[in-house]
Chain A
């Protein structure tokens, strides 16, 4: 074989480094999120097909009309649900801010925003706990649906079955996120007090 050797061209996909310039943990996280969206996608599509195949469905304005401390006759349709959604969105904003602060190596800000995110997550979980308890007291649970359909007819338990299963799975998700955030907060805190330079 000839001795003279051709130069290798270097490119992002040419091997020797990460084509997306990320460490493997992040890559795994991306793919995990993709896979996770398929789990939720499957649950939501199951819900949708069942809902379309079911003759009647309860009126959300009538199911979700209470809030903590409200009287029995309170009528605030979807208000508390919106508040919960708002909390969740805010906590993802603070999460993004925490990541950004991490990139800027601003440890104080990382700790602050991670803390906000955890508080947001816990707040959401408490709201959900209240909501579940409230619905349970009204007679709703897996296999039991006290709410009539839009047209007043008796409804099947499909609504409560899907509601508790999917929001339960979601709540479990938020809970895992909170735990992971707490671990990260502790790590950031330890590094902060040791004045270490990695984050």
Chain B
């Protein structure tokens, strides 16, 4: 390719004068891999921490699914492994609630927020906008270390006598405010809060960095509308995070005061264990407002980066421009704005004024519009493409499937008249696991398989990858689809044992089936874990700078870029990133100048 030759010449020409000589210094292992300020290393640190968390979080779900699927069977090994939490071969009640709570917290915050946006915002922003690093590499490093600190604190709560917090990932008071309410509400809750405060700090440090890097440090010619959608995704998620996490933070401050300083922000007139508490005048619903003001944007914080990654991978592998680039960007903007205006759809049954509820119904249904536009654009991007079914591409397509399936049930839930009946049932579990949980995981897998060659200079094994894809896709549908039926039948979420209810006895074998699929699907994830770590050291080597024949800037860096990314000058950008199959040319990288007789996008 002529383009590559030119670039190489460039490198040779400016090398002597490049202001990047400093990076040829020898670095110790500690500064290079541990306290690194290189955005690529920090991205990988987020990724590996995220993977470890995902395994732990997934294992927690296997444990509590054992209880749900086999309430009458004893598993003596549980007692061996878990001690008093597995007494008599059953997951103890308190342990069950802790496991579901920490599973939710870990998956939403530590894996799908920290692990997903932390990995790809860090790894991709500088590489794709043409910057040497983040605006502030130091803050970036601190962002990771606060994340790790948060992780360590949360994990250590497992070693408390009273166990980790057990009141659900949403941590509603009074359960979260009163130590005497349950075992998990004691020190476990303090550690949960500490961990999440550190997590918010990490998100702010990271988010401010992502925003200012994208705004300020784009290379010449990289206007906002020439940015790959993957950068748009992480940029807008950062804006969402910077504006919504502070509200959660404020909510946590009040909660901490309620717990330890005798206030009653969220508490009033309470009896616990036959004891009258002195609290008066507070309102537990206030917490729910503060929580969901973050909580709803949070679900988009999770999904926006995934949407961006999927768009990028899909266009590259369909060898077609993304359909409706500006519609994609506009709908992400619309999502960011609307995400702040729908939070009370989680609170239809809190005694919310029905009129106010109807306003939130309207706004909630509005947010389905940009989501649908995006789905339409993905499908039209695939339409008549020359699709290359790489593993990354499979996961991108799987993402769209899951996002549709889960998004449609969101429209049911968004109508308060229906939601009043299925709120807090398995229908909600099915909805958000498909649309957010598994879909965002698919976005993450799609990104990892696709950018692995850039991260480690080797490929992941695609046979293993494809098996992993099918196991996960089929598994996810088999697990979560049946939960819709359970939800319609009114089966509440967060119960320890359903076998005592006549109405839910019909689901005994269905629950057993779900649990078995959970175990198989969870085991299947080790295909990925093995593939990932094995390929880092033994994977097929990348020999071409641009193995996917992609247009974006990261593929103009050396196969294994050093800190600073480009050995010579940063390349200039002349076109948008989606010139695939234009005028009969398979792909035209962003660094190729626009010819005189060529139409500009």
Contact = CB atoms under 8 A, between A and B. Distances in A.
Interface of A: 1-6, 8, 11, 13-16, 18-20, 22-25, 27-28, 31-32, 34-36, 38-43, 46, 49-50, 53-54, 142-144, 156-158, 161-162, 165, 169
B249 interface: yes
A5 B596 contact: yes
B228 interface: no
B459 to A, nearest CB: 29
Contacts of B585: 1
B208 A158 contact: no
B208 A42 contact: no
A35 B573 contact: no
Contact of A142 (B204, B215, B263): B263
Given A39-B246, A158-B264, A161-B257, A15 B218 contact: yes
Contacts of B243: 34-35, 38
User: What are the 4 tightest A-B residue pairs by CB atom distance, in nearest-first order?
Assistant: A143-B262, A156-B281, A42-B250, A16-B220
A18 B264 contact: no
A157 B242 contact: no
A23 B226 CA distance: 22
Given A6-B594, A13-B224, A15-B223, A39 B247 contact: yes
Nearest to A43: B250
Nearest to A55: B281
Given A15-B221, A142-B257, A161 B593 contact: no
A114 B2 CA distance: 58
Interface string B207-220: 11101110111111
Contact of A4 (B223, B281, B588, B596): B596
A109 B100 CA distance: 60
B479 to A, nearest CB: 36
Contacts of B254: 43, 46, 165
B219 A27 contact: no
Contact of A38 (B246, B278, B283): B246
16 contacts: A1-B585, A6-B594, A6-B600, A8-B574, A14-B222, A18-B215, A18-B216, A24-B136, A27-B135, A28-B136, A31-B208, A49-B283, A142-B262, A156-B281, A157-B280, A158-B281
B293 interface: yes
A28 B216 CA distance: 10
Interface in B1-24: 2
B245 interface: yes
Contacts of B226: 15
A6 B251 contact: no
B290 interface: yes
A169 B249 CA distance: 12
Contacts of A32: 204, 208, 242
A50 B213 CA distance: 40
Given A24-B217, A35-B245, A161-B257, A6 B596 contact: yes
A25 B209 CA distance: 9
Contact of A1 (B224, B293, B595): B595
A27 B263 contact: no
Contact of A31 (B218, B242, B596): B242
Nearest to B570: A16
A143 B263 contact: yes
Contacts of A2: 595-598
A40 B213 CA distance: 26
B262 A28 contact: no
Contacts, number: 158
A39 to B, nearest CB: 4
Given A50-B286, A142-B263, A169 B242 contact: no
B355 interface: no
A104 B520 CA distance: 69
A38 B244 contact: yes
B281 A157 contact: yes
Contacts of B418: none
A27 B264 contact: no
Interface of B: 2, 129-130, 135-136, 204, 207-209, 211-213, 215-224, 226, 242-247, 249-251, 253-254, 257, 261-265, 278, 280-283, 286, 290, 293, 572-574, 585, 588, 592-598, 600
A31 B216 CA distance: 13
A160 to B, nearest CB: 9
Contacts of A143: 261-264, 278
B60 to A, nearest CB: 31
A16 B264 contact: no
A1 B595 CA distance: 7
B221 A42 contact: no
Given A13-B224, A35-B204, A39-B249, A27 B215 contact: yes
A169 B594 CA distance: 55
Contacts of B220: 8, 14-16
B595 A4 contact: yes
A50 B287 CA distance: 12
Contact of A53 (B136, B250, B283, B574): B283
Contact of A34 (B216, B242, B247): B242
B221 A14 contact: yes
B315 to A, nearest CB: 21
Given A20-B215, A39-B246, A46-B290, 12 more contacts: A4-B595, A4-B597, A6-B596, A8-B574, A15-B221, A16-B219, A24-B136, A27-B135, A32-B242, A35-B208, A35-B246, A49-B286
B265 A16 contact: no
A157 B282 CA distance: 9
A47 B223 CA distance: 43
Contacts of B211: 27-28, 31
B592 to A, nearest CB: 7
A42 B200 CA distance: 15
Contacts of B249: 39, 42
A163 B573 CA distance: 54
Contacts of A3: 595
Given A4-B595, A27-B211, A35 B264 contact: no
Contacts of B224: 13
Given A42-B290, A50-B283, A14 B265 contact: no
Nearest to A54: B281
B265 A50 contact: yes
B212 A28 contact: yes
Contacts of A22: 216
Contacts of A34: 242-243
A52 B261 CA distance: 23
Contacts of A156: 264, 280-281
Contacts of B222: 14-16
A27 B129 CA distance: 18
B403 to A, nearest CB: 28
Contacts of B592: 1
Nearest to A4: B596
A169 B282 CA distance: 20
Given A19-B215, A27-B211, A42 B251 contact: yes
Nearest to A41: B247
B227 to A, nearest CB: 9
Contact of B261 (A25, A39, A142): A142
